[in-house]
Every structure is written in structure tokens, then in C-alpha cells.
Structure 1
């Protein structure tokens, strides 16, 4: 019996039947069909008050946009259908507990950090974190300690961290309370998460995992293992990204051995809306059912399509797909189709724009040297072929010689942190010209989105390397966010008198 047959057999016999239930989605549908005289919110009154929404979204959807009701439970203190749906979600992800999150994994990361860290606690984390992690540190007051993050050659992509580096950093600083990891990075790189979890738990250090881009991992044996399945203490999954739920629908997953689940619920109730969208929550219920029942089959097709696309794109002159090397070769999310375009003399930003303007193809993101396509449950061979043909046409029609040797973009991998993000956030600040900011402490985050990795963060010493990176991004027309001066002529820095 091969591995795939074994996997399907385990799912069929032990878990399949109970995961056919969709308690929240079914209850919401049943309620929407009742003849209700609605004197509660929302104010559109089941689609009757705003006709244009009814026309564009459909009457059935508008009837299901409701607020907390006795029949439909309340996410702040779930006792009914939401509790049942969250328990099924926890089982699907091999976690002890699961919480619905309706403001994306951004909110889930804030809740995760606030649940386990406090002012002046130290957290070990890679530099290529999403900005939500940095903002979570502002909320909880913890101080970041950055891990070395390896770069993938001339592609300029941050990979992941090594277990040996995690162990070395923990040996150097016994005050580190938690390690925050990515599983995977935006481009699909993972690390030996199981070994890192063992290293951390031997020292009573918590393991927190941002799995925004790994919501599909537990549902196919050819994908990397998920965090909570390996024993991580808390993880966040963007089920809307690769699991099929509606946009913003995510989950916070908890293993109870080292985590106070009641405190997690308290933090969620503090940071999440009391009017969570039932459309988003019920989409998590439906997506979970689909992943357990159909995920293996759908992901087998997804993996095949991604491998097929890689083979075809690697035959196009000037292009190569981004592949794992060295330690990363052991485990990699093949569904993240990264393509290096430097050989065309084009930036990733230029190829991204060409794709949607000329070929009606929407990629996930560009950076200086690469573009990223996410292959997931709903992809079809015909669209994969459209993507391949578009790459062929760009390579033949838009190739430029002049930019092939451009200086690769480099992430500032080991910044000098002088103040905690929280202290920096609440300090007095001033705007200064770009060049005059060198040597000062940053008073703002600046990042290119996507992927949302900070180039500089509050409390960090601004170096010439930071200024060069920001100029490169501006010249390449990258979409920069969070900077106060939208022209990027000035930077917000902490006033000197705050530091005395």
C-alpha cells in the first residue's frame, strides 16, 4: 500500500463522517430561509434596504448577513453551533482548540502575541516577518531579537531560519520567552520545524507559528507538516488564502500544554469585533469540511499543476522557477510558483504589470527580481497554460538587455534594535530628509506590499543600507505602505531629546 492510499484510509475510517457536518453553515442557511421580521442589525434588513447590494451580491447572500442571535451562537462565548464548528476545525488541524478569526491572520497574530508575551519579554523571530507581527509587538510591548535569515542567491529572496541558529541564539540569551516562525515564507520555504520545536521546548520556550500561507498543509502528505501537528504551541492559518474560505477568514490554533486557552479567548474578545461576520465564519465551516473530505484529491491536482508549470516555465529562455536548495530541499511548498525574471532584463514589477494589463492574468505579487503565482484548490489546467503562454510571449516580446546586471535587492536581515517597537511607537517624532535620517532611530515602519515585510521598523537604527533599499523600491515603483511621507523624500524618526 502506498503513502497516498494509507493517508486516504486513515481519513476515511477515523474522521470522514463527523467532518461531513457543517453546523454553523447549516444553521445560517436554515435561518436565512425563515420568514423573519427583522428589528435587529444589520440595517439593510436582509437585503431590502440597499437594493444595489441585493442586485450585485444576490438576495441569498444578503439574507445570510446577520448578527449574533440565540440560534446562531455568539463567537465571544461560543456554546452552540459556533462551538461545534470550532471543535471540528481544531480536529481538522490536529489542534487542541481553534478560534474563528474574521480580521484575517493579521488579527490572529496580534491575539497570539498578546496571549503569551508582555512588556519587555523577548521574542526570537526572523526578519522576514509580516508587518502584523511587528504591530503585535507594539501592542504587547515585547522586544524583538532577530534571527539570521538566509537569502536565496541572486534572486534576493529571504528563505527561512536554521535550527542551529535558533539553538545558538537561545543558548546566548536565556531570557527569550518565545520563538516566532514562518511556515512557510511567501515563496514557500520552510525549515525543520519539528527540530526547532524540540529545541525550544527543552528550554521551556514557546513556539509561535505564522502559517498564513500554509493552511493547506495538513491535508496532503506531499506538503510540509503543519505547526500544531508537530507540537507548536500556537499557530495562525489564513484559511482564506489556500484553504478556500472567504477573504479575511482565518483561524487561531492552540495546543493546551503550555498555553492558557481562557486567556487566548479573553484576548480575542478584546481585539476582535463583537459583530463578527457570519458569512466569514460560516465560510470557515464550509472550507474545513471541503479540506477534510476533498482536500487530498484537490491538492494532488494542485501539486501536479504546479510541477507541470515549473517544468514548462524552466524551458523558457531567461526564466527559471525558484526552487529549494541545501537544507530547504527537504521540505518545500511546491504550490508557491515563484519565477525569477532577471534573465529577461525586467523587474518583477514590470512583469507583474504586463501580466494583468496585456494578458488578463493576476499574479499574487512581484518583487525586484521575481513574481509569484499561488496555485491552489480552484486552479485549472487551461489557466495554467495561459500563464505559461504569457511567460513565453513576455520572454520573446519584452526582453531587455539593459537591466540584466542590476544590483539585486537585499533585505536588511539583522537590524540594530535600540528601542522596543512599543516604546518607539509612543515616542515623539519628526520628519527629516532621507539622507539625514542615517544614524537616527526609525519612528515608523516602511514596507513594500505584498509581501508586507518591513524594510525598517520603529526603534531600529537607520543605516545607509536602509536608505539604498528604500530608493531602489521607489525607483522600481513598488507599492510602499505605512510611510508618513508618501513621496518618500522624508522619514519619520524619533526626536533626539526622547533618547536622553
Structure 2
């Protein structure tokens, strides 16, 4: 095994070790039971010989994800170097686990954590599991777009002053729509008050590799960051990384990760992280040059169509929109009389175009260097056609994505309380005992412990009517809801 001193960003230790094992003609009396695909020929035919032969289990030459000492350790160290972190952990349970590991590493039952309410469900799920108590900050809102923005620095400062015993502040960097808070200032204030800063960078991998993009969490001085390598970094779906600084005990973080992460880490996912890191480190600047060029062109052309509003850096106000991710193609659709989810469905069903998500008033298209000019033009043309064929009056449209919650009890207490099921449309005034959300983006409309209001019920009914994919409730038909007794 080579020392890290001899490794460079051109190396891929896990990839190299896997190739060596694939070529050494071992007789395998270990798992997986498909034995390189020979035991499941249909799967081998579908995924290919190479994929099945690389689907190996942990063995000495391949290291162990739970306790890395060789090639995984090397790959993680190269990743930390590439991202400007002190430590990096490979995650194979998705960024959901990375977010939960951050929270669970700094909070125990009863501890407070300050966070925006427009967090991904993974953050609130962590509170359900570990018993930490959220101090929610309502994000700013844009009345024209109806979307939640970032956190105001003053609101964060006020929450810190009012909750001096809070352990950490969690920040979205960026939101699903590409909006960033003033992360550097939030870090400064939090650290002055002895609190850690955790960043959900599920949509911010590219921030680390291009100067024209908002500041990354590690550069801003955050203590931990959960990064979805698979979203904009080029690794396989479900692979992620958790970055840490020396302000946290990395060995303890590893123990927390191991509470819930599989002991059978997929080497397909691990090698994809290894190779994606190399690609980003060597080619990231040119990759995101191309991404920015594509997104900027599409934004300008869509805005020329009229009716749509592909928003961008003009939203920056120095506070709740401190920076904007110009690679994000977020498009407001309400002015053509269509909900975002309706445009989403039309694009897929009538034009063969799959975008990331549609919500009540907006759609989001993920742009990357892997796109092609022809596909960008197809999207623009399809949106033009949809406007021509389907535009209608805006009357009766719901005009906001975010509703300030009324917190009655902690998420863990509510989720594990005695509950009863009742029709959602009769639940006004009750305390919610589970989640209700549209997925994607997976930001809860209701979380355990929140009061069910008429505004929320109207939102849920409207989202269902427009065809949003609703999740979270025990009732798979989303007709009944569990409320606290």
C-alpha cells in the first residue's frame, strides 16, 4: 500500500484495488451470492459483466467502510484534500444519512439545534431519532415567486441569543431553488457563541470547484457539511460524502455514522465516489464552465418566451438571498396559469423531457456538463409549446410554497406519542404526529409536533389536486393523518 504522501488527485485507490481483485481470478466463497453474475444471469445480462464482477464485499485488500485503514482511508483523505476539509467520510446511504450523522454527532436528546424550517425531511427525521429539539427560523419569502429563501443573519443572531444552550446551527447551502444564506457571517456569529455550524450541501457539490459560484461550506468555515456527490458531482445515485473540520472529533463522527450505515458498503458506490472526486479535482472548473454556460443560455431564452420567469442573480438582496447558484434552472410557471407540477407532467408525458421536480408554482431543471445543446433547445421549445397550448387564467391558483409552522411539541415526542388516525380534511386544530410532504423536494409541509391549520389543509388539498406526489403519512393514500391524542 502506498503512503498518502505519494498519492495525488490523479489516483483512485478504491478503483485501483477493485480492478486488481477483479483480475486476480480469486475463487469466491464470500458474498455476494450472485458470484460475479454467474448465479443470476438475467441481472448480469442487464447490468453487464464488469458491473457484476466489481460488486464485491469487504475483504482485506478492499478495506472496510466501517473502519477504514487502507484504500478507503486513502480515498477519503484525497477527497478531504480536494474539498478543503480536514476529514471526509464516504456515505453509501445517501446524503440523508450524512445530514442525520451531522445532527446526531452534535446533539443528544433534549439538545437544541437552530435550523430553517425549509429543511429536507432528513434533518427532521434526525430529530425524531435522537430527540433533539429544533429552534426553527422561518426563512425569508419571495412574494412574487411564493418560495422560501435563505435565513436572515439577524434572525439567526436573535435565535442564538435567545437559545444560548443550542449546540449548532444548520444551514441550507443552497436551497433546492439555488438560494444561499450569508453562510460566512452565520459561521462567524455561531462560533462567537460556541455553536457549531452544519451545512446541508445536498445541492452544492459544485461550489467547491468554481469561483463564480457561491462560497462552499468548508471555505466559509462550517464545521461539517453533507454533500450529495451524486447530484452534481457525477457519482452514482445514493453515494455521498460527509466533510468535517478539526473542530469536531472525526473518530466520534465515524462512530455515529456506523450507528446506521450498512456494514456491507457497495463498492460500486464507493468507487464511483473515488472516480468522481478525481474528475472534479482535475476537470471541475471546465465542467462547471459548461454547466454555467448552458444554464445561463437557457435562462435567457426562457425569459424571452414571456409568461415564464427563470429567476437568477437579480434576486440577491444581501440577506435572505445572499448568493444564487447560477447553475440552477428554476422557473416560475404561475403566470401562465399552470402549477409547476402541471408543467412537469406535460414535459414528461407530451415531450419526453424529465425534469427534477415541479411544485405549486415552479419547476426545476438540473443542468450539468453532461447535457447537450440539442436537449437544452428541446426544453426551451417544449416550454414555448406548453405556453401556447395550455396557458390559462391564474384565477384560483395557490400563491405560496411555504407556510410558517406552529410548533406545539418536539418531533420525537409527537412521532412516538399515542396517536389516532382521522381524515385529513377534518384534522384542523390537531397536532400532527407524522410527516406530510411533496416529494421531491422532500421539505415537509407538516412535521410531527406541528399544529394543523386551515392554510396547511388548503395547501395539501391543492397539491393533491394538481398532481404532486405526496408522501410521509402512514396512510399510503394520503386521505387520513395520524394526530397526537
Aligned to 1:200: 190
**1 CA distance for matches of 2:87 and 2:403?**
36
Q: 1:450 and 2:440 equivalent?
A: yes
Report the counterpart of residue 344 of structure 2 in structure 1: 352
* C-alpha deviation, 1:436, in angstroms: 3.5
Alignment of 1:364-379 (within 5 A): 364-379=356-371
- Determine the structure 2 residue equivalent to 1:270: 259
Residue 435 of structure 1: how far off its partner (Å)? 4.2
Q: Which runs of 5+ in 2 are unaligned?
A: none
d(CA) in 2 for partners of 1:101 and 1:365?
24
Is the partner of 2:400 in helix, strand or coil?
A: coil
Aligned to 2:383: 391
| Structure 1 CA distance for aligned equivalents of residues 397 and 336 of structure 2 | 12
Tell me the equivalent position of 2:291.
302
Query: Equivalents in 2 of 1:299, 1:407: separation in Å?
Result: 35
Report the secondary structure of 2:380's partner residue: helix
User: Is the 2:419–2:484 Cα contact (8 Å) retained in structure 1?
Assistant: yes
5 Å-filtered alignment, 1:234-245, equals 234-245=224-235
**Alpha-carbon distance between aligned partners in 1 of 2:9 and 2:474, rounded to the nearest angstrom:** 48
Assess if the C-alpha contact under 8 Å between 1:312 and 1:388 holds in 2: yes
Q: How many Å separate the matches in 1 of 2:412 and 2:321? A: 37
Within a 5 Å distance, the mapping from 1:8-407 to structure 2 comes to 18-257=8-247, 259-323=248-312, 324-327=315-318, 330-401=322-393, 403=394, 406-407=397-398
1:58–1:194: structure 2 CA closer, same or farther, 3 Å change rule?
A: same
1:426-485: CA deviations, max 9, x gaps? 111101233442222111111000000111111112222221221111111210001123
User: Is contact 2:340-2:360 (8 Å) kept?
Assistant: yes
How many residues get paired? 478
**What is the TM-score with the length of structure 2 in the denominator?**
0.96
Q: Aligned equivalents of 2:255 and 2:219: distance in 1?
A: 24
Deviations 1:156-195 (A, max 9, x none): 2111111111011111221222111100000100011000
Corresponding position: 1:462 with 2:462: no
Instruction: State how far apart, in whole Å, the 2-side matches of 1:60 and 1:490 are.
Output: 47
Cα distance in structure 2, aligned partners of 1:22 and 1:54 = 25
Instruction: Decide whether the 8 Å contact of 2:86 with 2:243 is kept in 1.
Output: yes
Quick check: 1:110–1:139 contact (8 Å CA) kept in 2? Answer: no
Q: CA deviation at 1:16?
A: 13
Q: Deviations over 1:30-68 (max 9, x none)?
A: 211221211100000011110011111100110000000
State whether residues 346 and 404 of structure 1, in contact with CA within 8 Å, keep that contact through their aligned partners in structure 2: no
Aligned equivalents of 2:316 and 2:216: distance in 1? 21
In angstroms, what is the RMSD of aligned CA positions? 1.5
Unaligned regions of 5+ residues in structure 1, if any? 1-14, 496-500
Partner Cα distance (1:281, 1:418) in 2: 41
CA contact (8 A) 1:242 1:377 kept: no
Q: Report how far residue 207 of structure 1 moved.
A: 0.4
Task: Please state whether the residue corresponding to 1:146 is helix, strand or coil.
Answer: strand
CA distance in 1, matches of 2:15, 2:476: 43
Q: Residue 475 of structure 2 aligns with which residue? A: 485
